Amino acid sequence: MDVELHKNFDIKNLTAFKVGGEISNAYFIHDVKDLELLKDNFKILGNISNTLVSSDGYDGTVVLTSKMDKIVIDGNIVKVQSGVKGPKLAQMVAEHNLSGLEFMIGFPGSVGGEVFMNASAHGQAISDCIKSVTMYSPEKGVFTLSKDKMGFDYRTSNCQKNDWVVLEVEFELIPKTHDEIELKMKENLEFRKSHQPSLALPNCGSVFKNPEGNSAGRLLDEAGVKGLKVGGAEVWEGHANFIVNKNKSATSEDILKLMCLMKNKVKEKFGINLYPEILYLGNRNKNEEDLCKILNQK
């Protein structure tokens, strides 16, 4: 078994928000078979780009898939482990003149998280070109489902409804010319630079999901949340649906408080409830427990 175990692992610098405390047990795995041999109850994390980890840490066991980074290309069929980062995959398939994942060039997350959330941008969704997904759940162990069994929809999949964790993905991509693919990726990167904060400003991407037929960013902008601050957390001036940790001084409680403030501003102005796109993991103090309830209340 090729598994690394780290006790009382400080996870802060691995997270996109640069927020988080110590994890009691952190395993780094390299292959699906490694996972089948672990005996502890555990949570699985990928690139931690869409997860807010408690500043008080987590008294459980976490399995990190960041070292599961193999890519196998056979014609237009691409098999990818969940720890592969989106930009790396987009660039590699582009070198083989394969289209369908150009939007991932600007996504800092890993493939596993992007399938879990059914990530999408610029008219493309990761589910568009999936053939099958290999996953793990405590009840079923490791299993594989075809795309039509995955329940993909806007920012959701059956992974979220059933607590399934993505381990490997099989894609069927579309052959195109290299110039076409490169042009699309260039356009996507330029859009990201003008509409989203630099990765030098720690952030987890979009904070809230778009309500059906509406835009969370527009609602938040019109509710006047840009520039709002709580502790070290701040709503980015360039786009109202992003929170940045400017000086890397924010705590998880700061971010949750700011998210609640943003949600309440939209509720007061438009009567619309926004729901988090960001997931939360870890120990919760009483304040954080209450804040999480507010964020998810109907």
Is the domain of 139 the same as that of 186? yes
Average pLDDT over residues 13-26: 95
pLDDT attached to residue 121: 82
Instruction: Among 64, 85, 105, give the residue marking a domain's end.
Output: 64
Average pLDDT over residues 105-119: 87
Instruction: Among 31, 49, 64, give the residue marking a domain's end.
Output: 64
pLDDT attached to residue 154: 85
DSSP 27-74: EE-SSHHHHHT--S--EEESS-SSEEEPTT-EEEEEEE-TT---EEEE
Tens of pLDDT, residue by residue over 161-201, are 887 889 999 999 999 999 999 999 999 888 877 777 776 78
Are the beta carbons of 115 and 133 closer than 8 angstroms? yes
pLDDT attached to residue 76: 98
What is the residue type of 34? D
pLDDT attached to residue 43: 87
Average pLDDT over residues 111-118: 91
Q: How many domains does the chain have?
A: 3
Tens of pLDDT, residue by residue over 24-59, are 999 999 888 887 778 778 888 887 888 999 999 999
Q: 277 an active-site residue?
A: yes
User: What pTM value is reported for the model?
Assistant: 0.82
Q: 206 an active-site residue?
A: yes
> Looking at 82, 127, 206, 252, which residue is catalytic?
206
Domain of 190, CATH number, reads 3.30.465.10
With the C-alpha atoms ordered 206, 210, 215, 221, is the resulting torsion angle positive or negative? negative
**What letter would DSSP give residue 211?**
P
- Residue 202 placed within a domain: no
Domain of 13, CATH number, reads 3.30.43.10
Please determine, for residue 1, whether its predicted confidence score (pLDDT) is greater than 60: no
Is the domain of 107 the same as that of 40? no
pLDDT attached to residue 93: 98
Domain of 260, CATH number, reads 3.90.78.10
Tens of pLDDT, residue by residue over 66-92, are 899 999 999 999 999 999 999 999 999
Rounded Cα–Cα distance for residues 137 and 286 (Å): 29
Is the domain of 102 the same as that of 181? yes
- Residue 21 placed within a domain: yes
Question: What's the mean pLDDT when you consider all of the chain?
Answer: 92
Q: Which domain holds residue 100?
A: 71-195
> Looking at 155, 172, 182, 222, which residue is catalytic?
155
Tens of pLDDT, residue by residue over 189-240, are 888 777 777 767 899 989 999 999 999 999 999 999 999 999 999 999 999 9
Residue 290: closest CA among 260, 251, 258: 260
